[in-house]
Amino acid sequence: DQQVKQNSPSLSVQEGRISILNCDYTNSMFDYFLWYKKYPAEGPTFLISISSIKDKNEDGRFTVFLNKSAKHLSLHIVPSQPGDSAVYFCAANAEIQGAQKLVFGQGTRLTINP
């Protein structure tokens, strides 16, 4: 049962344009969402997060949008840079059986073309 889904395994964007990465979730208990960037053989690096009580959070080139009714969030990167090429994971936090847990999506490989 995949509670957090990233349906696009890969995305290719021209340098300078906007990258939009999407994420859907099924569990309405998720109260906090995070985006991570990951390179091969490294741990995930935190990018940006959003609480379920908000619909937008912005940090520099990164903006995360949350649509609770649709159980959908997206990460916008603008302008996209070659260094943004990596795998991006969407993660959702919930308290399950008294413990905080983070559930990850499958990841989207973003490639920024010069």
Partner 1 sequence: GAVVSQHPSRVICKSGTSVKIECRSLDFQATTMFWYRQFPKQSLMLMATSNEGSKATYEQGVEKDKFLINHASLTLSTLTVTSAHPEDSSFYICSARRPPRGYTFGSGTRLTVV
Distance, CA of 45 to CA of 27 (rounded, Å): 24
User: Which pair of structure tokens corresponds to residue 75?
Assistant: 């990460």
Size of residue set near partner 1 by CB under 8 A:
23
31, two tokens: 């109260």
Site for partner 1 in 71-100 (CB under 8 A): 89, 91, 93, 99-100
Q: Does 44 contact partner 1 by CB under 8 A?
A: yes
Q: Which of 65, 71, 103, 111 binds partner 1 (CB under 8 A)?
A: 103
Is there binding between residue 45 and partner 1 (CB under 8 A)? yes
Residue 43 sits in the site that holds partner 1 (CB under 8 A): yes
How many C-beta atoms surround the C-beta of residue 114 within 10 A?
A: 7
Instruction: Convert residues 1-30 into a mask of x (bound to partner 1 by CB under 8 A) and - (unbound).
Output: ------------------------------
Query: Is residue 19 within 8 Å of 84, Cβ to Cβ?
Result: yes
Residue found by looking up tokens 């053989």 in the block: 41
Q: What does the alpha-carbon distance between residue 29 and residue 59 come to, in Å, rounded to a whole number?
A: 25
Report the interface residues with partner 1, using CB under 8 A.
32, 34, 36, 41-46, 49, 51, 89, 91, 93, 99-107
